[in-house]
Amino acid sequence: MPQGTDTDTDIPMADSLLRRFFLPKPNRFFLLRLSAVALATVLFFTQVLIPLRIEGYSMEPTYRNGTFNLCWRWRYLLSEPRHGDVVVIRFAGRRVMLLKRVVALAGDSVAFREGVLLINGQPVTEPYVRMRSNWNLEPRTVAAGKVYVVGDNRGVPIERHHFGQVDQERIMGGVLW
């Protein structure tokens, strides 16, 4: 018999190893490994990285309708959200989540004048906002334990947007990229 072949099948050893790796015999050890991988996968994609399908236009052009991303759940484990962070907010359970940008933190005064965001009375440069509508909103102070969030697509009327103060506990995490 030629060297480097499997004794049972005359197939080169590399092919045999690959076949056993990708098509193992379903014994108890295989089922245990399969169960462990399935459990680890479910835990990872429910507790660490949550897959998101972006539906809607409120974060365009930064995040486009119909694309996918991941929510990094541990992003704010040891830190607080900062100005400009894009966060995933639990809106209704874990099925409906909103993707929004943090524009103001607790204690900040936030307002819109002719579409321009004002934080503590000062205009904010927002290179991610492409189109602006005539948003006008009187100044309001963000309460303790909350952040003020808004989408990047400001080209639609203010009445058609979900934005405002959100409890920090409702923030699920940040987007991965």
The two beta strands, 137-141 and 116-119, are: unpaired
Asked if 58 is an active-site residue, the reply is yes
Given this model, what pLDDT does residue 70 score? 94
Residues of the chain with pLDDT under 50: 1, 6
From CA 72, how far away is CA 84, in angstroms rounded?
Answer: 16
Task: Check 16, 25, 35, 58 and give the catalytic one.
Answer: 58
Determine which one of 25, 35, 79, 100 is catalytic: 100
Amino acid at 72: W
- Residue-level pLDDT at 1: 46
Q: Are 63 and 100 in contact (CB under 8 A)?
A: no
37-54 pLDDT, tens digit each: 999 999 999 889 999 999
DSSP structural state of residue 142: P
Q: Where are the domains positioned within the chain?
A: 13-46, 49-175
C-alpha 104/C-alpha 84 separation (Å) is 8
How many other CB atoms are there within 10 angstroms of residue 13's CB atom?
A: 12
* CATH code of the domain made up of 49-175: 2.10.109.10
Token pair recorded at residue 130: 């492409």
Report long-range pairs for 121-125 (Cβ below 8 Å, ≥24 apart): none
pTM assigned to the model: 0.79
